[in-house]
Each structure stands twice: as structure tokens, then as C-alpha cells.
Structure 1
Amino acid sequence: MITMNRSSFPLTVALLALLLSLASGRQSSGAAARRSGRHGEVTDTDTTWAVLVAGSSGYENYRHQADVCHAYQVLKSGGLKDENIVVFMYDDIAHNKMNPRKGVIINHPQGRDVYAGVPKDYTGEQVNPSNLYAVILGNKTAVSGGSGKVIDSKPGDRIFIYYTDHGSPGLLGMPGGQNAYAHDFVNVLKKKHSMGSYKEMVIYVEACESGSIFQGLLPQGMGIYVVTASNAVESSYGVYCPGSVPEPPPGFDTCLGDLFSVAWMEDSDVVDRKAVSLFEQYLKVRTRTSNNGTYDSGSHVMQYGEKSIGEELLYLYQGFRTKPIDVVTYVSEQSKPVGVVNQRDAGLLSLQHQYRNAKEGSKEKEEIRKALAAKIAHRLHVDKSVENIGNILFGKDAAQILNAIRPPNQPLVDNWDCLKSTVEVFEEECGSLGQYGMKHSRAFANMCNKGIPMDAIKKASAKACTNFIKP
């Protein structure tokens, strides 16, 4: 038993008080460190880099380029320099003949122009996986066309990547059907990490089944934190669409934004980015993207990678807004569900509204009717073709096998080369998958997971699509 004489008591009390004071100081400084970012403030020699990617083209996909333009304005208002922001966008929306406000892009029904000032680093066919990977890796000699701008980051720099477009299990869309495969994308991230050319990286992805890009693939220990619009098995959603509430201004026969995307950007527009952490934004975005719990018309926002990075403050990746931004937002009404449209149906909806609003008997109306009929016919053809291939390969068990979902800790497919070859074989024998048909990538992956030889897949595809006329 410890004993204490009377003369030592005042000294002991003083020592205890000192220890308590030191402990309190450590707790306070620890909390402050967490609020300023786990690894401290940004120094004058550290840089925040950003890659913004809209992976689609066409007026019906207006929302993706609107998302990226808005993202640029968020970062620009935060003080990021153009030399550190790389933008991928097809750039066929602002001056499109269907755009009722020529030279202007909006991302909100009452929003300002977000197109002004956006650098067009990679446009048109330059928006492709090869250029994206080269930019992330900082490989100037590997980019083809464009500004040549790359992420020339140093070990102390942070990187923010934002992608928005159509997706499917294991795939992210790019214009012209040049899809980015999850395995390739994650391998690029691994290579970037092995180069030691960044401190930490944050990735936001808006796409259907976007969780499948990282599930079972992205390892810990790479200093990468990912937030996706949906899990590995569900769609993401367009918002501010024709016929929905709130809807676009008159003349806009297309969705203006995507639910996950506008949720994080409209939040970043108004919050103090030096007082809000990535995780706090994730919580707000998760609620809004679920359409306030109505998951039948909303998706599950997911986190992957090193979730501890979520403790860091927004400004480390999105910059710090020094003055109020002139923006109209529905932040105050986020408790109300909004009208949304499945990403895969947004293009169809756009054509339907274009047809409805076109002048009766006009050449334009007839052209839109043909485009609408062709889109519907293509969807039916792709769905039926995949179904027939499955029946040839698996008989009565086809639906169960093609739609099988692997456990959350496993990637979509074990052999990614097999998946790529299966997609190529299908498109050779049955025609392009297109943005809608990408959804069948899980079926193709499951053919590979069952060990079906490529010759058998090719024969089944040829048989299923005997009536398809190859170009």
C-alpha cells in the first residue's frame, strides 16, 4: 500500500494539477489537429491538385458536363489555380443546338452559368482512359492531344479526383465506348502511390454501380479515401429533370445534374470548408443522395479506402472560399425528397421531352422520333441478346448465374482480361453495348467467373445475334 505523509500532500496536489493540465492541453491540441486535418495545415510548398472528368457526350447527357463545370467553380472559388486543375469534358453542350442558353451551362434550375472560365484541357475524343491515366500519373509524354497538363505532384501534395458519367459493374464510361475498367483504374492508383508523388488523395465518383470500381480492389495503406454515389449493385440518379420537382427552366429537355454530385457541390458552395470535415460532408451527402431515406429513388453513398482521411477538412482538397459565392441552392430544402431519374433512363427521358416539345409535323420532330425509336430498339436488342447468350451457355440456370452478386469483399471478376475480351466479343457479334448496355457487364463477368472458354462465349454470341447486321 502506498503511504503519504502530510508534508508531501501540497506538492502531490500541485503535481496532479500539472498532469491534469498537460492532459487537457494534449486533448485540446489533438482536437484542433483533427479539425485542421490529421497531418496539419497546408504549407506554402504544398499544392492541391484536381482532376475533373465528365465521361459522356451528347445533349441528353448535359448533366455530366454541368456537374464538372460546377465542380471547377467550387475549386476555383476555393483558390485552386488553373494550372493545378485538369478538366476532361467533351465540350459539346454549351453551344449545342438543343441548348436554350447558348454558351451557358447551368447545374441548378435557378443556377448561374458554371461554364464560364472552365479550362478545356482534354475535349472530344481526347477524353479517354489512356489520357486520364497519363494525367493522374503525371506522364506528359503519354498524353495525346489536349493541353498536355498533368498532375505533376510532389510527395507533400494532395489530389482530388471527381468523375461523373454512366457506369456499370466494374466499368466507368467514356465517350465513344472507350470504357475505363476498375482493375486498370485501381492499378493506376497503385502506381501513383508507388511513385511517392502525393500525400493523400480523395476521389468522388458519380456513376451507377460506382462502388464496384473499388470493392475488393482498393487496398489500405495508399492514403486514398473514396466516396461513391452508389454501392456495387445499384444505379445512381439524375436530378433537376424535365417533369420532376424541382424541374429545369423552360426549354431544357434534359436533366441538369446528378443527385450525389449536386449534393456535395451545393454543400461545398455554402459551408465553411475550414470548419467541415470530409466525413461531415459525406454524412450530409449520404442523406440527400438517399433522397432522404427513400432508397427506391435514391442510392447508398459508400466509403472505400482509408476512412480516417475523412477526419480532414474540406479545404485541404477543395480549397477555402474567402468570400460568399453567388449561388442558388436547395440546401435549406434538403429534408424534402426531390424528383429523380435513373441514370440509364435520363437519356430516354430527354428524347421524350424533346419529341413532345418539337413542332408538330416538323422535320425536327421526325428526326427525334427516329432517334427515340432507335434508342428503344437498341435497348431491347441488347437485353434480348444477353439473355439469349445466357440461355445458350447455362440453360434454365441462366438468369441466376448471370445476375449473381459476389460478396462485398470480392471484386466483380477474377480475370479482368476475360471480362474485356467478353465485352469485345459481344460488341463484335451483337453490336455496341452503348451507355445503357453497359449494365450487362455483371453478366459478362459471371460468364468469366464460371470459367466459360472464350470460344464458347464467341459461338454463343454469334448464335444469339444471327440477325445482327455487322457494319
Structure 2
Amino acid sequence: MARTAAAAAVAVLLVAACVVAPSMALPFTGSTNAAGGKNWAVLVAGSNTWGNYRHQADVCHAYQVLISHGFDPDNIITFMYDDLAQNIQNPNKGVIINRPNGPNVYQGVRKDYTKNDVTPQNFLNVIKGNKAAMSGIGSGRVLESGPNDNVFINFVDHGGPGIIAFPSDVLQASDLNNALSYMNQNNMYAQLVFYLEACESGSMFQNILPTNTKIFATTAADATHSSYACYYDSTLHTYLGDVYSVNWMENSDSSDLRQETLYQQYTIVKQETNTSTVCQFGDTSFDSSPVIDFLGGNNSTATLTHLHSADGHMHFRRRPTADAIDSRMVEIDIMLKRIAEARDDQETRTALQQELVSMLQLRADTRARFGRIVSRVAGEDSVERHMTTRLSLPDYTCVEKATRAFHDACLNLGANAWALEHTMAFVSMCSEGADPADIVAAINDDCSVKTMKLKL
């Protein structure tokens, strides 16, 4: 109770206070972490396209958080598609922001893996330290951490039950947790912290991540609900951030991470992220450790400049929940906003309306396809029940087989991650004992033409 009250008190102070001035530097000295080892980080934005702007903006901001707190850039490995800074829709070339009128978080970011190198397998090879597998790919850099080193992993993208997305592929919970187990067995860290932003992100760790392997994970949502986007920018026509990610990063920007513990940051972020249920998993035995042991290092200035606006002046923090929206509705919401903004330009308005119709039609066709698959497996009378039930499972093996089959045969779920919502139907059927082989057969039968697979 005591630490909860303390964390709540910190949260109140953060909400009420204005951002600290840049001159209030917080110099750090001493070893990189409490174990006397180095700190390592892997940052991953798993999406691409302008509509998913917020994911890469989140990761760029995370990079700046680490650097401002003294993290060695040689120990940060970054995955991002890198299609925003010079995007035709970007009026300020070379600039990416993570909050309204915010600073350029893209500047100085070292990108190790971009474009088609942003894949699940490359990510797994990097965190497992498989240098041979990464030879000739991107920078080729992998984790070279050892038993005295701390590791921080931050993943941001779309997700679904037991799955997170990459630009053109998906990563399943079993594969991620097997990689983390490999890291543990091969003494690749002293302690590891994992911050995961995705819909149903809790399903990646719930009932899977052990409580005794020195891995502490927090997620943007529980196993059955969406995470939320925030900070819509009417000039850029996109959302700039995600609520959970913005909350932990803006807290890190404005806090003395030598004093704030992992548990306190988790509690603050959970309280401020009232759009979804932030969860913690794994080993909490070291959650009293200061955040700086994972997000910082030697020679930190922690100038807190990243909460300042582009004009260099201080502004009171705008709550990210003010315009938060379900991540799966972002694409539609952006289109509706653009149509409204184009009321005086009939040609543009008509083109946007036609694009919206196409988006809605694809979504309707996809839902209908899931319904047909459910009908084939469980009967027509059960379709609506399975399509609307939201529950978690102790084991996602059945769901993983079905989701992988759907991705391979029907629709690229990495590029159309909004469709992951409907894989909850697989969860529902699996929970009632459906044979995964029957689900896969129904998927292959319905998707034999593969017409939907053409949309990437």
C-alpha cells in the first residue's frame, strides 16, 4: 500500500506541474547499472505508412529518452521502416514529432534495420545475439549483452490475441517468449525490462512469461482489449502517438529516473492510461529498481527538452487521452477527419469518400470471411457469439495455428492489422475445444482463391 500511495502522489505532481526548464540538467555519475554492467536496448516500430505515423514517432521518442538519460548510442539497436521523414505527405522533411508542436524526435536517431529488414525473424535474431544470421542485413548489429548487463526492449505496433504485427508479417507469443527464454538460458542479461504497445498486448505474456527469470514486462492493454492512439494533428492528418507509450515517455522526460522506480512508473502510466488496462507481467522482484538502471547510463544530462514545443517555449502538457481513439479505428477516423476538412474542395472530398468506401468494404468483406470460417467449424448459429466474445486463454497454441493460416492464405495481417480484432473468433472457438486442424482447413477452403491476399 505504501508504494502505491507514493506512486499516486508522484502522478498527481506530474499532472499538476509544468515541464521543467531545459537548464535544470540532472547529471548522472557512477556505473551504468546497479550490477556494474552495461545497458542495452532494442527499439522496434513494427509498422509502416503515414497512417501508422505514431508507431515510428513513439520509437524515435524512445530513442531520445534513452540518449537524454545517458544511454550509450552504440548499445541501442533500432528497427523502423523509415518512410516518414521524407514522405510525400510530410510538409517538414526530415522531421517527425510525437506530440502537437513537439520537437523533432527523428533527429540523430541511428537506424539499424529499415524497410524490408523490419521482420519478426530479424528481431528474434537480434535479441538472441545471432550475429551470423544478421550478417549482410542492415547494420548487422545484435545484442552482445552478458550476465551483468540490463536490457530494455520496446515494441510498438498493432497486435491481436497472441500476436504482434510487423510491416508484412506477424510474430506470435510463443516465438517471442521462446526467444526471451533463450536469452535467460544463455545469460544474456542480469535483468530485462520489456514495454509493449499493441492491442491485446497482455496476451503476449499472460500465463506465459515466468515470474522467476528477471524479466519485467508492462503492456498497453490486457489480453482482450485494444490500445489507443492519441494526439491527432490536423496539419499532418495523422495521429502522433499512442497513449501508453506517450505516458511512459513523457513521464521519463519530466522525471528524475534515479529516484523513480519501475513500479512507480508502471503505476503512474497505468493511472494516466485510462483508455486501456495497462498490465504488468513476469518477475516483479526488482520493480523497486530505479528506472535509470534500464533507460539511462553514464553522463546523462536529462535536460527534459523533449516535452518542449518546436518553438522552444514551455507549454502545459496536453493530456494524450483528450482525443484518444481505438487503434483499430485510426485509419477510418483519419479519413473522416480529412473528408470534413476538405468541405470546400469537392474533388478532393469525392476522392477521399471513394477511398473510405473501399476501406469499409474491405473491412466488411474480411468480417464476413471470418464469419464463414466460424460457420464451417462451429455452425451458422454460433457465428455471432464467436465473433463478439472476448476472452483470454491459458494457451494460445490453437489460436496461433489459425492466425498463421489466415495470414498465409487470406490476408496479410501485418499490413492489415485492424483485421486482427476478428481473430478473437479463433480464441472463442479454441476455448470451446475446436480442433485447430479443422479451423485451418476451413480457412484454406474459404481463402483458396486468395483474392484478399493481394492487398499488402
For the aligned pair, the TM-score class normalised by the smaller chain equals 0.7 to 0.9
Partner of 1:279: 263
Q: Aligned partner of 1:451: which letter? A: A
The alpha-carbon deviation at position 146 of structure 1 amounts to 0.7
Query: Deviations 1:203-227 (Å, cap 9, x if unpaired)?
Result: 0011100000001111122110000
Determine whether 1:230 maps to 2:212.
no
Which of residues 389, 399, 403 in structure 1 aligns to 2:384?
Answer: 399
Partner of 2:286: 309
RMSD: 2.8
Partner of 2:20: none
The alpha-carbon deviation at position 123 of structure 1 amounts to 0.4
Distance 1:60 1:415 in 2: 28
Partner of 1:23: none
Moved more, 79-88 or 317-326: 317-326
Aligned length: 413
Q: Aligned partner of 1:324: which letter? A: T
Structure 1 unaligned segments of length 5 or more: list them.
1-39, 242-247, 291-297
Spell out the pairing of 1:29-108 with structure 2 (5 A cutoff). 42=33, 46-108=37-99
Partner of 2:241: 257
Partner of 1:5: none
Compared with structure 1, are the counterparts of its residues 447 and 327 closer, same or farther at alpha carbon in structure 2 (3 Å cutoff)?
same
Which of residues 289, 292, 296 in structure 2 aligns to 1:319?
Answer: 296
Identity over aligned pairs, percent:
34
Query: Deviations 1:391-419 (Å, cap 9, x if unpaired)?
Result: 232221233345555566x1334574454
Partner of 1:11: none
Query: Deviations 1:325-344 (Å, cap 9, x if unpaired)?
Result: 22336996578951211101
Q: Aligned partner of 1:327: which letter? A: H
Whose RCO is larger (CA < 8 A, sep 6+)? Answer: 2
Partner of 1:389: 373
Compared with structure 1, are the counterparts of its residues 334 and 310 closer, same or farther at alpha carbon in structure 2 (3 Å cutoff)?
farther
Distance 1:313 1:204 in 2: 15
Determine whether 1:441 maps to 2:443.
no
Which of residues 195, 220, 237 in structure 1 aligns to 2:211?
Answer: 220
- Tell me if structure 2 keeps the 8 A contact 1:406–1:412: no
Moved more, 330-339 or 348-357: 330-339
Partner of 1:6: none
What SS class does the counterpart of residue 308 from structure 1 fall into?
A: coil
Partner of 1:146: 138
Which of residues 437, 450, 458 in structure 1 aligns to 2:441?
Answer: 458
Structure 2 unaligned segments of length 5 or more: list them.
1-30, 309-313
Partner of 1:270: 254
Distance 2:151 2:442 in 1: 45
Query: What TM-score does the superposition give when structure 1 sets the normalisation length?
Result: 0.80
Distance 1:208 1:453 in 2: 23
Q: Aligned partner of 1:78: which letter? A: H
Spell out the pairing of 1:168-179 with structure 2 (5 A cutoff). 168-176=160-168, 178-179=169-170
Which of residues 201, 210, 232 in structure 2 aligns to 1:210?
Answer: 201
The alpha-carbon deviation at position 375 of structure 1 amounts to 1.6
Compared with structure 1, are the counterparts of its residues 425 and 118 closer, same or farther at alpha carbon in structure 2 (3 Å cutoff)?
same
Distance 2:72 2:453 in 1: 48
What SS class does the counterpart of residue 255 from structure 1 fall into?
A: strand
Which of residues 138, 144, 157 in structure 1 aligns to 2:149?
Answer: 157
Compared with structure 1, are the counterparts of its residues 230 and 72 closer, same or farther at alpha carbon in structure 2 (3 Å cutoff)?
same
Distance 2:320 2:137 in 1: 45
Moved more, 212-221 or 65-74: 212-221
Distance 2:60 2:385 in 1: 41
Compared with structure 1, are the counterparts of its residues 367 and 120 closer, same or farther at alpha carbon in structure 2 (3 Å cutoff)?
farther
Query: Deviations 1:19-62 (Å, cap 9, x if unpaired)?
Result: xxxxxxxxxxxxxxxxxxxxx98269511000111111000111
What SS class does the counterpart of residue 287 from structure 2 fall into?
A: helix
Compared with structure 1, are the counterparts of its residues 285 and 197 closer, same or farther at alpha carbon in structure 2 (3 Å cutoff)?
same
